[in-house]
Amino acid sequence: MATKSKKKAKTELENNESPTDEAPVMMPTEEEVPEPLIEDLPGVGPATAEKLREAGFDDLLALAVMSPGDLADQAELGEAVATKIIGGAKKMANIGGFVSGGALLERRREVLKLTSKVESIDDLLGGGFETQALVEVYGAFGSGKTQIGHQLAVNCTLPLEEGGFDGDVFYIDTEDTFRPERITQMARGHGLDPEQVLSRIHVARAYNSAHQMLLVDEIKRMSKGLNVKMIIVDSLTSHFRAEFIGRGMLANRQQKLNRHLKDLKQLADVNNALVLVTNQVHSKPDAMWGDPTKPVGGHVLAHASTFRLYLRKAKGGRRIARLVDSPNLPDGECVYQVTQEGLRD
């Protein structure tokens, strides 16, 4: 790892517009210029910059939103140095602070929508699964959460004009239920080359909740040179639920989960990507009316998800997806099917 990133840093140096003669002559394109580099931060020399990059921090915004303790841990720096770096990043990064509604609308214009290729689901979601959002899919076992994850992973690789993101997918698998064979079937269902699709889906098995959280940092590290457009965590809650048992652990669990969700949301914002998490349900026997099935994760997750979809099995192999919570869409339901080729109307 260290050697790899050293090599990376070296090529960066070699490729870098040397601040001497040629640089001013080159007409920089819009994409290359405006953002200052992490080397421009006070107190960041090449060695520290390398440490930061190795820990997955390669732009100022990613640094500006860290807490000193976490940055010190993740990048193996002293806390005083981390504080200084964060302070510098806050000043230099284009954080924006408060912006006008108009500017927000501008940012919202960047939002892309990923098709499920199921008309009823896309309609329910106002056109598809949005980037810059965290979508939670919950339901009982066998309700089809993992199927949605697989299908959207495939669809994410579709070109933009077909409703995809032409993007790379990171898939954190906590239950060992990712199946490349299923991706192959679904890719064929869209007439795509399965090998090509599989090459764009990067899968990691998470062995426990701590590992699961670390894998988000790993995504930051690995995302260079990739067009990261979707991050899937299937399931978000199973490890947390299994490891933090009983009321005494609840606060700790929720704190960790909150941190994890913030990290994921940050990935969604920085990459203009979609984060999809699946979640289990538990039965609330004390519910007097309505459906006693409730998603795990409590208020922390309820607040973090931008959209919540509740899946149920229905007669004849059909599935029902219910939009439970959305900032700008009415609640509603739709029906679809899981077939060998994937999700269909």
Contacts of 247 (CB under 8 A, 6+ apart): none
Q: How far apart are CA 54 and CA 128, in angstroms?
A: 35
The distance of closest approach from Cβ of residue 296 to ligand GTP in the complex, given in angstroms and rounded to an integer, is: 11
Residues 231-290 that bind ligand GTP (CB under 6 A): 280
Closer residue to Mg ion (CB): 145 or 200? 145
Considering only CA atoms, which of 129, 150, 162, 144 is closest in space to residue 194? Answer: 150
**Cα distances (Å, whole numbers) of residue 325 to 107, 136, 270:** 22, 10, 23
Does 142 engage in binding with ligand GTP (CB under 6 A)? yes
Q: Are strands 274-279 and 228-234 parallel, antiparallel or unpaired?
A: parallel
Nearest-approach distance from CB 295 to ligand GTP, in angstroms: 12
State the greatest distance between any 2 C-alpha atoms of the chain, in Å, as a whole number.
76
Q: Is 146 in the site for ligand GTP (CB under 6 A)?
A: yes
Rule CB under 5 A: say whether 280 interacts with Mg ion: no
Q: Does 139 bind ligand GTP (CB under 6 A)?
A: yes
> Residues with Cβ < 8 Å from 213, sequence gap 6 or more?
256, 259, 260, 263
Give the nearer residue to ligand GTP in terms of CB position, either 280 or 305: 280
Q: Which of 18, 67, 94, 340 binds ligand GTP (CB under 6 A)?
A: 340
Q: Which is closer to ligand GTP, CB of 65 or CB of 321?
A: 321
Choose from Mg ion, ligand GTP, none: what does 141 bind? Cβ within 5-8 Å by kind. Answer: ligand GTP
Question: DSSP letter string over 243-293?
Answer: HS-SGGGHHHHHHHHHHHHHHHHHHHHHHT-EEEEEE-EEE-TT--SS--E
Tell me which residues in 111-170 interact with Mg ion (CB under 5 A): 145-146
Assess 238 for contact with Mg ion (CB under 5 A): no
Residue with tokens 């889906």: 201
Q: How far is the CB of 175 from ligand GTP (least distance, A)?
A: 6
When asked if residue 144 is in the footprint of ligand GTP (CB under 6 A), the reply is yes
End-to-end Cα, the chain, rounded Å: 45
The binder of 340, among Mg ion, ligand GTP, none, by C-beta within 5 to 8 A per type, is ligand GTP
Task: Provide the binding-site residues for Mg ion, judged by CB under 5 A.
Answer: 145-146, 177
